[in-house]
Structure 1
Amino acid sequence: MRTLFYGVLIFVYNKIMLKKNFYKWFKATLAIVSIVLIVLDFAAIIDINGTNSKWFWLNNIILIILAIDYFYRLYLAKDRRAFFRNNIFELVAIIPVGIAFNWMKFAQLGDIGLYFRLLRLIRLAGLVGMLKDILHTHGILYVIYFSIAFLMLGSVAISITEHVSLDQAFWWAITTASTVGYGDISRHTISPQSLLGKLVILAMILIGVGVMGIVTSSLTAYLMRRNEGKVSIKDKDAELTLILDKLDRLEQQNKLLAEQNQNLQKQIQELKDTHTPSEWNKFKDWIEKKKR
């Protein structure tokens, strides 16, 4: 029974999940949901680490689906080293950070929590990397890579210099870079006191404005290219219609020529049947003279 169940799962995976478009967008949807969960967790809006939270189970169900997909494709890969190199983001994205948090809490290893928060930021970058199939052709992916790296460095710097948790610092970095103002940490607006903190603020404001401009221009360019693509498709459809019409006319002309040829052959055969050989030879000579 168990073998039959696994067989059905593999059949469904091969017939449905590996269809290129559906498979690509399904994985991208899971990655986007995971990204939203991680960002909301950083903002302390939800908790994806506690086993009593529904978000913990949703996050880990997505992680299990992505892990099964990764290891199944790794098993099918002919060159596993190349597969590993080309899908490093997907491997990072299936790191079970929430389970590691709970294990640390059970083992009373709370001092290592900062490193696992950094690991969660790395997993966030891995999830964004999974979107490469739907973003790389428009250049937006590189902007997202840069933005996440920039937010990670800024949040670590603020966490160290202003003595706040990394979760709060990351949410602060997001709000600062996106709204060009000091982010809200624990319902209090914080003005950095250290020189490094002020430099980080300045860099985040300047780069945040640039990144938002790049994202806006990239989306505008994408929409313009899509509209141009629609116009070109219409033009190609019109050209194809004209070609098909010409082919139809040529086919009709060929049919008429074939009918005329058959009629001529019938007339020639009738001439053969109704005239004597000598008359037929005269007729052939007459045709040869006409050809000359």
Structure 2
Amino acid sequence: MTSQEQWERRTEWPMAVVAFAFLVAYSCEVLLDLSAGWAAVCSALMSGTWLLFVIDYVARLYLAERRVHWFFRHLHEFVVVVLPAIRPLRLLRLVAMVTVMQRAIGGAIRGKVLIYTISTSSLLLYVASLAMYEAERDHPDSTVNSFGEALWWSMTTVTTVGYGDYSPVTTTGRLIAAALMIGGISLIGVVTATIASWIVEQVAEEDKAKQAATAHQIEELRHEVRRLTDRLAQDRVPSD
């Protein structure tokens, strides 16, 4: 196991906890009417957790055996941890949070297809709804004026139903919509691949079990043939 793999294994769940703390702070900021003091606390917590995302990325890059190759293969992670430093793009921190939680939770329950599908879908829908509600709620022409409406919009968008009763009017909202559409397609692909992988594993395990049983039966038949052969050989030996 490489140093990078050891780092990722050791930091999977701690970083998942950090990501969860970020999600709680962001949810409070968006959904609750906080006082100035609590708003500052939530903002500081989100900034601190995002800094930990940056440290995690830098550590994995430093520990990579082929750093240039790893950097270009994970260029999207670089964009996610760098661009949120610009205030208008801070919603990209949500992508970092989802990536970190996926790394830990996905690895732990990937074999349990139903749980993996539900947890991934719920996380994507909740985060997209929060981001859309924050982006749209203060616009005078917005049709998304509550978190419930944002959640309904997310569900119709990610499932490609698209009733059209709610739609983003801000530039940020439309970018979130585009990201959710791409994320929805990716999610379907991941879920399909996970189910296919699980089915292949189950079939492979069943084939191995059948092969083991067949090999055991063949060995028993060989043993029986040897025993019968020895008995026939003994019967042919003339008695004194």
| TM-score, normalised via structure 1 length | 0.42
If you compute each CA radius of gyration, which structure gives the higher value, 1 or 2?
A: 1
The higher relative CO (CA closer than 8 Å, separation ≥ 6) is in 2
Q: Tell me the TM-score normalised to structure 2 length.
A: 0.48
